[in-house]
Amino acid sequence: MSAVSDLPPVGADPSRQLLNPGFDLTLRPMRYPRFYEMYRAAIKNTWTVEEIDFQIDLGHLRQRMSPAERHLIERLVAFFATGDSIVSNNLVISLYRHINAPEARMYLSRQLYEEALHIQFYLTLLDNYVPDQDRRAQAFAAIENIPSVRRKAEFCRRWTDSVFALGRIGADGDKRGFLLNLTCFAACIEGLFFFGAFAYVYFLRSRGLLPGLAAGTSWVFRDESAHMAFAFEVLRTVRREEPQLFDERWAAQVGQMIAEAVELESQFAEDVLSGGVIGLTLSEMRQYLEYVADQRLVMLGLPPRYQARNPFPFMQLQDVQELTNFFERRVSAYQVAVQGEICFDATF
């Protein structure tokens, strides 16, 4: 059943469009079954932090990794812990509040659980990887005391604060503000900042380092890819229902937003790689970020900006859904069985 065919035709009932103000509670008839399918798929993919063994990682940090590589890890985990908290905040205050479809809110509820799980994962990483309490406190307070992380957080706030102040979105201007907020989180935070961070982990994995971090990151990668897919599906749905919102001004703002995100993530790379990590250069990271940015622009229906190629062979393993992770601890596509079926066209 295609997502497009399940949607109501444009103009069929404007009062029940996805960004219509209000709080629809009616699941029957289901207007957006694709969101419900995404919710069910997310429920099947369940993991816990307790499944991850960090013992080998601790040995690698003490015996096999250079000070520059340990700096990379500390910066990386500090950003992750901060980034997922920012995403969770936006989910509750903006997305859950203004995406007016109960099946979409079911997915967002599941996403919020997954973001909390990711935060637990990075909390556990920091507690294990950074035994010095002062350095650990600095990592947890990354927004305040790590400039490369603070700049990214300030960028996020620019696209959230105005939407957070809205009790409801009705006028086209308010809807455009919400869509820019959603685009920022889908294309720039989850779709670019996080993907840049994943590249560092998979670089270390390609060298046989930190299997616990690699295993957990594969599951986080799968979750974040699904979160991004949901957000882009929301954008596509709104574009079908209210195409006037996606005008040249929107395209220009999105292009500028993604270009700024590339610059900020490149500055973060300068910090992460400041000690000189053998086998990974700043120019390669910049090229990879531009490659990912082009992918996000195309997903938004916009032309690529950089025409960049993926410089990292190890990132060809991005599709962790279908792969056993590198250390063969577990299949990354592990799913918990869910019983029962659903009939999308049923009525009460």
Residue 287 identity: Q
Contacts of 345 (CB under 8 A, 6+ apart): 29
- Alpha-carbon span 225 to 220, nearest angstrom: 8
- Alpha-carbon span 95 to 104, nearest angstrom: 10
Q: Can you read off the two tokens belonging to residue 284?
A: 């390669």
- Alpha-carbon span 110 to 49, nearest angstrom: 17
Helix (H) or strand (E) holding 34: helix 33-44
List the beta bridge partners of residue 331: 324
List the beta bridge partners of residue 324: 331
Question: What is the CA 86 to chain-centroid distance, rounded?
Answer: 11
Q: Can you read off the two tokens belonging to residue 243?
A: 């195409």
In three-state secondary structure terms, 47 is coil
- Alpha-carbon span 26 to 31, nearest angstrom: 9
Residue with tokens 């699904």: 226
Yes or no: say if 98 and 177 are a contact pair by the CB < 8 Å rule. no
Catalytic residue among 107, 122, 129, 200: 122
> Is residue 36 annotated as a catalytic residue, yes or no?
no
Q: Can you read off the two tokens belonging to residue 57?
A: 């990682």
Q: Can you read off the two tokens belonging to residue 253?
A: 């703002």
> CA-CA-CA-CA torsion for 117, 336, 341, 115, nearest 10 degrees?
10
Phi (first) and psi of residue 255, to 5 degrees = -60, -45
Residue with tokens 């399918």: 37
In three-state secondary structure terms, 324 is strand
Q: Which residues are catalytic?
A: 122
